[in-house]
Amino acid sequence: ARDLLALPDAALLDAVIRDAGLEQQGGHIRLAGARDDLGDAEVGVRKLEERLGADPFHAPEADDLAAWRLSARELAAAERAGRVLRLRDGVVLLPTAPALAMRELARLEQPFTTSAARQALGTTRRVAIPLLEHLDTRGWTRRVDAGHREVVR
């Protein structure tokens, strides 16, 4: 937007956006107050949210996502809207999953194994490993050695 408007300073973009009655969120500019409409994907995202709301670490399999008509494109839009968190290997969770995981991991004896984390979260290795790696990158957990992690306090 700055380049298209030929603004001499990036700080001016906020004023232009505000004065135009727009808002900026996550690098996207849109009409102020506009809700994130996911169009045809809305029904599938709601099903995903319902499932993960009941069991936060039971990430859907690729077949589930396909049945709900949620491809990479729809999931990317849902992620931009703050409705899902996409991790590596196709693992999709709610954005609240990292905080919920930390609550459980902090209760474990430190350092903990991936297996202990998996059991505490009631999930599979397919979900636990990308989630733990995500927590590592955020600095919330840290690898101690090949088999152990600990909560960063």
pLDDT digits (tens, 9 = 90+) for 115-144: 999 999 999 999 999 999 999 999 999 999
Prior bond to 111 cis, omega within 30? yes
What's the whole-number mean pLDDT along residues 94-109? 95
% of the chain with per-residue pLDDT over 70? 92
Residues 6 or more apart in contact with residue 110 via CB below 8 angstroms? 150, 151
Lowest mean pLDDT among 14-18, 65-69, 111-115: 14-18
For residue 19, the model assigns a pLDDT of 85
CB atoms within 10 A of CB 11: 9
C-beta of residue 92 within 8 angstroms of C-beta of residue 126: no
Q: What is the DSSP pairing of strand 92-93 with strand 148-151?
A: unpaired
